[in-house]
């Protein structure tokens, strides 16, 4: 029976390995859907505290969470301890534990206000924000030129303004622009599928959500530049049929051109599925499970998902792991995924089999 092995180290305390005290672990990275801002990831683990083991995870210590199967460890999350909650056992305290909670480097942008960056029409604005915020970190270049805010603002809001305008994704601790998708975060080692094999990760629960239920169905878009000025666009046919359903976006683009058209068209199909699924490590083929530490936990990637609707035929498409939630217990690791379809992303790349131009009626600029 194949299983994932998890490790927790305190990098602040000389890479101290505290896995031996671990009782359980949970963490979440990503965002609820493709138009939500990134709030940052979070983690929580409960450890034995019968003789003051809590000293091995102090407030603001830098924590590394890693995972492996039969090979080397891959880092799934870096984060900082933000709080500790004690469960003190009575008498001899043999059942005493402590729950350590924290957030990742993206979430560390959140408490930082009055950030002032003097940059105009650059591709590396995220790097500049990361350099200016000591604990926050999100690196990567954009396809479109970005401007810093005209006045000091919240760092997490500023970072999300960059992402919203460029249309890319965050894969763990790195931002990837649409141009990067086929180069760096497209994996073909396994498919999510109802059945397991050496090339398939089998999900145990699976649901499809469409329309208003997944929060990504709009017929019109209003895109506001963070330094002033707004542009509007609509999918005229869908407005007549479904009415005005606005998505409002703030962007750091140096020149807002077609972003509002892209939002109005990319999210205008009510029949587009978002997937919710979960799987356990012990239910997988060992060969397929070996891919997960690198291709899912270390660097989430575009992945094929296969499903068969009741009374229908098998369907496979490319989906992005929008949100990953992990629950680790001694018996098994359970992974919950929110997967967004490729049609929600990118100014798509010509002549690429996966990320090329799709349905021109929906994604083309009007």
pLDDT at 216: 93
Indicate if the pLDDT at residue 357 is higher than 60: no
Which CATH number describes the domain made up of 183-211+271-355? Answer: 2.40.30
**Residues 335/76, Cβ–Cβ less than 8 Å:** no
Confidence of residue 175 (pLDDT cuts 50, 70, 90): very high
pLDDT at 353: 64
Say whether 183-211+271-355 and 5-103 share the same fold.
no
**Residues 345/167, Cβ–Cβ less than 8 Å:** yes
- Whole-angstrom Cα distance, residue 8 to residue 363? 43
Please report, for the chain, the start and end positions of each structural domain, with discontinuous segments joined by +.
Answer: 5-103, 183-211+271-355, 213-266
CATH topology of domain 5-103: Thrombin, subunit H (2.40.10)
pLDDT in tens, 61-105: 999 999 999 999 999 999 999 999 999 977 666 789 999 999 999
pLDDT at 158: 96
């Amino acid at each position: 029976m194949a299983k994932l092995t998890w490790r927790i180290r305190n990098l602040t305390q000389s890479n101290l390995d505290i896995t031996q005290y671990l009782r359980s672990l949970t963490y979440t990275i990503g965002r609820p859907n493709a138009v939500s801002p990134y709030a940052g990831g979070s983690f929580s683990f409960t450890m034995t505290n019968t003789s003051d083991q809590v000293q091995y995870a102090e407030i603001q210590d830098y924590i590394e969470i890693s995972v492996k199967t039969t090979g080397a460890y891959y880092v799934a999350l870096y984060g900082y301890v933000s709080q500790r909650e004690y469960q003190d056992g009575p008498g001899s305290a043999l059942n005493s534990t402590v729950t350590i909670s924290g957030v990742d480097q993206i979430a560390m942008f959140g408490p930082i206000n009055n950030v002032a960056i003097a940059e105009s029409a650059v591709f590396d604005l995220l790097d500049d924000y990361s350099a200016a915020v000591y604990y926050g970190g999100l690196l990567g270049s954009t396809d479109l030129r970005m401007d810093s805010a005209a006045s000091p603002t919240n760092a997490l809001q500023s970072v999300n303004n960059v992402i919203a305008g460029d249309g890319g994704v965050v894969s763990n601790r790195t931002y990837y622009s649409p141009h990067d998708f086929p180069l760096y975060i497209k994996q073909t080692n396994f498919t999510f599928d109802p059945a397991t094999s050496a090339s398939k990760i089998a999900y145990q629960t699976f649901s499809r959500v469409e329309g208003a239920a997944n929060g990504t169905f709009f017929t019109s878009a209003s895109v506001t530049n963070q330094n002033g000025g707004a542009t509007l666009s609509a999918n005229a046919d869908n407005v007549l049929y479904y009415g005005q359903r606005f998505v409002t976006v703030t962007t750091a683009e140096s020149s807002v051109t077609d972003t509002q058209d892209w939002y109005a068209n990319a999210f205008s199909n009510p029949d587009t599925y978002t997937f919710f699924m979960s799987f356990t490590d012990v239910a997988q083929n060992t060969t397929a499970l070996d891919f997960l530490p690198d291709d899912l936990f270390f660097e989430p990637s575009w992945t094929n998902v296969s499903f068969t609707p009741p009374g229908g035929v098998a369907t496979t498409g490319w989906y992005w792991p929008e949100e990953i939630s992990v629950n680790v217990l001694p018996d098994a690791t359970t992974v919950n995924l929110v997967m967004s379809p490729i049609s929600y992303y990118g100014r798509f790349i010509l002549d690429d089999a996966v990320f090329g131009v799709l349905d021109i009626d929906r994604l083309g600029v009007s």
